Each structure stands twice: as C-alpha cells, then as structure tokens.
Amino acid sequence: MSISLSATLFLSHIICEIVDKSEEFTMKNKIMNTILIGVPSIFIVAFYILSLLETTNDADIWAVNFNALDNKSLSSLNPGNGNETLVLDGATLIDGNGGPQKADSVIVIDDSKRIVAITNQTNFRDNLTLNNDSNGSQSNERVLNLTGKYATPGLFDMHAHIAGVRKNSYDQAMSKNMLGMLLDYGVTTVRNPGGPTNETVRLRGEVLNGTISGPEVFTAGRLLNTPEFPVPFVEKQFTTEEGVREEVRHQAAAGVDYIKLYVGLKPDLVKAAIDEAQRQGIKVIGHLYLTSWTDAANLGIDFLTHGVPVSPFLLPEDKQRIFNRTGGGPFDHSLWLDLVDLNSSEIRNMIESLVQNQMPVDPTLSVYEAIFVRQGFADPQNEQRWNKVLRLTKMMHDSGVKILSGTDIPNFELVPGESLHHELELLVEAGINTSDVMKIATKNGAEALDLINQTGTIELGKQADILILSANPVEAIENTKRIYAVISNGRIIERSN
Ligand SMILES: [Zn+2]
C-alpha cells in the first residue's frame, strides 16, 4: 500500500524537523524532549496505522520533485491514458463567483477533465477514499503543490479576431500563433466576433479536435453590412431583408455560432437578421451605427460590442445636427464623444434598455486607449474623451449591464493574451473593483456564451479551465499576469514563455 509509504514519509519528515530543532537544547532537555516528542509520535503513528487499516482504496501518490518543475515540466504531471487524476493542492481558490476566497483548497480533476472534488487540505487528508471510484478500481493521483498560489477560472477574451478580420488577411500560421499566445496567457475561451466564415469555422474545428492548441473558440462569420459604409473588413453588403436572411441561413449552414451585424444596417435589416438568426438557433452580435443600441436592444439583439456606441441617435437633437453637419460617421469616436452628454435622456434610456434586455457589452477599452491615450494625449481633448469612455463603462456596470472582457486583437496592434490582461487593468481604471473584474473576465463570459454549466467558474462538475497565479489578482489586478500554470480542459499547458 503506497499510502502507508507516503504517510510514513510524511510523518518521519515532521518528526525529523522537530528533532532538528531540539538539538539546540541542552543534553538535559534532550531527554525530556525525546519523551515529549516520542510519546505523541507513537500515538500519531498508531493512529495512522489504524486509519490505514480502515482505508480500502489503493491510491498511488506519484513521487514528483515539485520544486524542480518549470513551465515545461509542469505538463509532465498531465495524466496519461490510465484512470488518473490531477490534484491541485493548496492554492487559494478564487472561484469566479465573486465571493470570499478559500485558502488551502484542493481541486481534483479526473481523467474526463472535469472537476470532481473541491475541498480543503484537512478534509482531503482525512478522506483518502475521495478518489476511490464506486466500482473500486484503482485510480492514480498526480499532485501539483500550489501552496502560496491562487487558482482562478481560465480567462475569456470576448473580442478576439483569431482569423483576422481585414479582407484577404487570413493566415493559418498567424492564427495558430495567436491561439497559442492566448492560451499561454491563460485565456481558455474566446469569442471571435467576425472573420472569414469558412476559415474561422475550420479553425474552431481544428482547436476542438486538437490539431491546433488554443482556447475553446466560438465564432461569427463575415460581417453583414450595407453599401453605405464600406469597410476594409471581411464583409458582405446587403440592401434587402431577403438578402440578409439568405446570408444568415448561409452562415448558419456553414456552422457559425453567431451572426455579426455591422454599422451600415438600419433597424429594418437588423430586425430581419435577428428574426432569421432566431429561426436558425444562433445569436447576433452588433457593432452598429445607423441602428442605435437602444433600438437594437429593443429589437432583441443578443450582444453589443465596443463601449463607445457611436450613433447620431444617441446624441441630443441639437448635437445630432452638429454631428451630421460636420460629416460625422460610424468611426468618428472623437466627435461623438465630444458631443455626447452622458447624463442625457438618450444615454439614460440606452442604458435602461440594455439592462431590461440583459444585454452584455464588451467595452474593448484597449481600442479606445489605442486611439486616445497611446500618443500621450497629443490632442489635449483626448484626455476628456478617454475619461468619458471610462465613465460610460462604469455607468453601465453600476446600472447592471453585464460587462464582458474583450480586446479586438489583432486590430490596433493589440497583442493576443497580453492585451486581455491589460483590458482588465483598464476596467479597474474605469472604477470597477478587482473582484468584479475577475468575475467579468470569467463567469460573465461563460454566462454570455451560455457555457456557465460547463466552465467560467471553478465548481464541481465543470470542465477544468483553471489559471494558477503566483500572486493575488483581487489584491492587484496586474497579478493576473503572474502566471504559474494554465490548465485548459483538464490539461496543464506547456507554455512557451
Ligand atoms: Zn472587432
């Protein structure tokens, strides 16, 4: 019985440590100490032997020199094909629900890559039958010592164009690289809000079947737009409701998870797309302009993206006239921010309709930082604009809009993975507390993707998508970058950095 071996080693280790310390004592005290230490030790050993006699399972604790593990060798702990479990031992658990942290946690992941037990170290040691499956067959454990570390759910990037979004820009090697980087940075799920339809669907399949290593992918196809505002992105332009419906059916047949509606669509076409998507059982994301967020939410769209909802209809009437007269368009963020009144009835109504329709929004603050802040406020008005961006995000969050963590990689030279961690810092800069930001980056993403029964929190029965950090992200959000290990779908990732 290997339990007895490891238990004996464990006990002798403790006894040796006490005896070592006792050598500082004088000879006289030594005899006294031998009695004081020896007698209880005999009882402890006897107690262990008795408890072992009652233990019926045959768990093998693998002998691994934990201290010698680096990024690469950590993955050697991955269970092989046998009936093996991975035990994450001793981390402080931040489960993604936003509740209190749990010290000294033990998380057990079985060979079907699910979390089969979450307990604390005392309970785990007291209950060695934990991993003894019901039909009594032998199960092997591999233990990863995580004392002093923090376990959080894997992160979500809800705006990751993993197949590129510019016309004719698809590059399989680049996509592969992006997916690898995302995973290295602890991003275990991504939503791609637009890309070349067939290539993106194929990429999702290659990740799913293990050909490419990457986070789990959910994807939209090419953008649905009108000729009014042509963009250099993969798009198809429509002028009729029937054309829009046909494209939705075409993309649904190709296997997309979402339809992405773009800036040129007016409410009649948005409505047709939502209706057809609902018939096909898929959801709709909007980056809109000629349809305001208020109208889109009331029409039943499922997600809105980018935290600056540029649209003349969200400006007070006199400002709408200025916007139109000045030639404002869907990408005139500066002009729109200069004219918008965040306390206006238009913005208040918009937020109310987002809340009522439970509309998730990914503010992609990284995008606006790239536009307004990267040049060090070269234009003095940029500081005000940036503050408005942050304020609107905070207003939505405080009003109960479900905020999501998204970046817009690889646009604006945003770096896969790294920029997601930075997005979390920007959400904190907007005034959202770190505990809420951790929930935004994990649970909110899973809820928005209807994955909450599978992932997004560290809970019993869920797929093991876990990020192990060397420092506490609730104390300082930049600690999400102090990655010790990434576990995606039950496997420790062999990280390249
Ligand atoms: Zn985008």
How far apart are the CA of 408 and the centre of ligand 1, in A?
A: 5
Tokens of 352: 């109310």
Query: 74 with 64: CB under 8 angstroms?
Result: no
Give the model's pLDDT for residue 27: 47
The architecture of the domain spanning 155-454 is: Alpha-Beta Barrel (3.20)
Q: Ligand 1 centroid to 396 CA: how many Å?
A: 20
Whole-number pLDDT of residue 225? 97
User: What pLDDT, on a 0 to 100 scale, did the predictor assign at position 446?
Assistant: 98
CA of 159 to the centre of ligand 1 (A): 6
pLDDT in tens, 265-308: 999 999 999 999 999 999 999 999 999 999 999 999 999 999 99
State in Å: Cα 288 to ligand 1 middle: 12
Q: What's the pLDDT score for residue 482?
A: 97
Q: Is the pLDDT of residue 109 over 90?
A: yes
Domain 60-149 classified CATH 3.30.160? no
Q: Say if residue 473 is preceded by a cis peptide, omega within 30 of 0.
A: no
Q: pLDDT at position 59, please? A: 32
Average pLDDT of the chain is 86
Q: What is the mean pLDDT of residues 438-465?
A: 97
Domain spans of the chain, in order of start:
2-54, 60-149, 155-454
Q: Residue 148: which of 457, 487, 468 has the closest Cα?
A: 468
Angstrom CA distances, 75 to 142, 164, 307, stand at 11, 30, 38
Q: pLDDT band at 132, cuts 50/70/90?
A: very low
Residue 447 pLDDT > 50: yes
Q: Which of 30-39, 62-71, 72-81, 334-343 has the lowest mean pLDDT?
A: 62-71
- Could you tell me the distance, in angstroms and rounded to a whole number, from the CA of residue 194 to the centre of ligand 1? 7
- How would residue 127 be classed by pLDDT, with cut points 50, 70 and 90? low
Q: Once rounded to an integer, what is the mean pLDDT over residues 52-58?
A: 32
Span from the CA of 421 to the centroid of ligand 1 (angstroms): 17
The mean pLDDT value for 137-154 works out to 85
Give one DSSP letter per residue of 466-493, joined into a string: EEEESS-TTT-GGGGG-EEEEEETTEE-
Packed helices 27-54 and 2-22: angle between N→C axes, nearest 10 degrees: 170
pLDDT value for 33: 57
pLDDT of residue 467: 97
Q: What distances in angstroms separate CA 175 from CA 163, 171, 192, 295, 478, one per listed residue?
A: 6, 6, 12, 35, 26
Q: Say whether pTM exceeds 0.85.
A: no
Strand pairing class (84-93; 140-145): parallel
pLDDT of 381 reads 92
